[in-house]
Amino acid sequence: MNDLHQQYLDRGEIIYPAKPDSLISFSGENRIKLQWYVYSDLSIKTARIFWNDKADSLDISISVTPSQTDTISAIVENLPEGGYIFDVYNIDAYGNKSIPVIRTGKSLGDIYKSSLNNRNILSYEITTDNLVLTMSSSDPADYIDSEFKYYDSNNVVHEVKLSDNDNLQSISISLEDIDISKNLQYRSVYQAFDNSIDLFYTDYAEFVIEE
């Protein structure tokens, strides 16, 4: 018994590691990213993340840089769509845990994707040099872009984005680059939140160009 007590006496006063600072979460597709800061606490060796009422956990190794602020991040994968509560601890080499920091996060999946609509091509015009596509209005706040695939005369596929033209209302494709006898494909791109780590896409739709 004395030997057991002596182990703790030899270690002296326990100084618990600093807690995770400024913990934030980022939504993703069936996953959530967590990020926080560590300020020069060299005792910290590991971080432990709990969720599902501590039924699930993830450990990550931490290497702290002296006299610097380290950004620590971890991605919790394979999360069914829904909301989660995370408890995050910093842990030192002796297994001493910091005060936990709690943060909520949201995983996105099929339910969110089923709510997304493809932004349609409203009209088109074939000019002397270009095919000009005009898009329908884009009301959803999480819509960020549209992507197009088309073939050239050599049957090579090209891909362009609506944002490539610095104009989210219409896009112009040179007739030298496109075989208008073949169908054009397009889809919409969504980002659920400004800091989401994944983008979501509608299925490609076919558009027939009639000369």
pLDDT at 91 over 60: yes
Of 98, 72, 100, the C-alpha closest to 15 is 98
Where is the domain boundary, 71, 94, 109?
Answer: 109
Q: How far is CA 54 from CA 35, 49, 88, 102, in A?
A: 19, 9, 10, 12
Helices (H), 48-189: 110-114
pLDDT beyond 80 at 99: yes
Q: Do 57 and 101 share a domain, yes or no?
A: yes
The single residue listed with the structure tokens 């709510």 is 115
Lowest mean pLDDT: which of 13-17, 75-79, 112-116, 207-211? 13-17
Q: Decide if pLDDT at 4 tops 60.
A: no
Q: How far apart are CA 151 and CA 183, in angstroms?
A: 8
Please indicate, yes or no, whether residues 58 and 149 belong to a single structural domain of this protein.
no
In DSSP terms, 186 is beta-bridged to 148, 205
One domain, residues 103 and 55: yes
Last residue of a domain, one of 63, 81, 109: 109
Residues 13 and 48 in one domain: yes
| Whether residue 104 is found in the same domain as residue 181 | no
- Which of 150, 165, 45, 34 has the alpha carbon at shortest distance from 102? 34
Within 82-128, where are the H helices? 110-114
Are 165 and 150 found together in one domain?
yes
* Mean pLDDT value of segment 184-194: 95
| 141/97 same-domain check | no
Mean pLDDT of 83-95: 96
pLDDT score, position 115:
95
Q: What is the residue whose two structure tokens read 């104009």?
A: 167
Instruction: Please tell me the distance from the alpha carbon of residue 156 to that of residue 140, in angstroms, as a whole number.
Output: 33
Tell whether the model's pLDDT for residue 1 goes beyond 90: no
Q: Mean pLDDT in the chain?
A: 89
Q: What is the pLDDT of residue 103?
A: 98
Q: Are residues 171 and 134 in the same domain?
A: yes
| pLDDT at position 68 | 77
Residue type, 76: V
CATH of the domain at 157: 2.60.40.10
Give the model's confidence band at 209: pLDDT under 50 very low, under 70 low, under 90 confident, else very high.
Answer: confident
Q: Are residues 87 and 126 in the same domain?
A: no
Same domain, 127 and 96: no
Q: Which residue has the higher pLDDT, 90 or 65?
A: 90
Question: How would residue 108 be classed by pLDDT, with cut points 50, 70 and 90?
Answer: very high
Out of 62, 82, 109, a domain closes at 109
**pLDDT-derived band of residue 65, with 50, 70 and 90 as boundaries?**
confident
Q: Encode pLDDT of 115-127 as tens digits.
A: 999 999 999 998 8
**Are 74 and 94 members of one domain?**
yes
Res. 23 pLDDT band, cuts 50 70 90? very high
- What pLDDT was estimated at residue 12? 58
Q: Give residue 134's domain range.
A: 116-207
Distance of CA 93 to the CA centre of its chain: 32
Res 48: pLDDT: 97
Residues 77, 120 within the same domain: no
CA distance 192 to 211: 38
205 class by beta-carbon count within 10 Å (0-12 exposed, 13-18 middle, 19+ buried): middle
Mean pLDDT computed over 11-30: 88
Nearest to 76 by CA among 29, 113, 112: 29
pLDDT at 3: 58
- Tally of domains within the chain: 2
Residues β-bridged to residue 101: 88
What is the distance between the alpha carbons of residues 82 and 79, in angstroms, rounded to a whole number?
8
Q: Which pLDDT belongs to residue 109?
A: 97
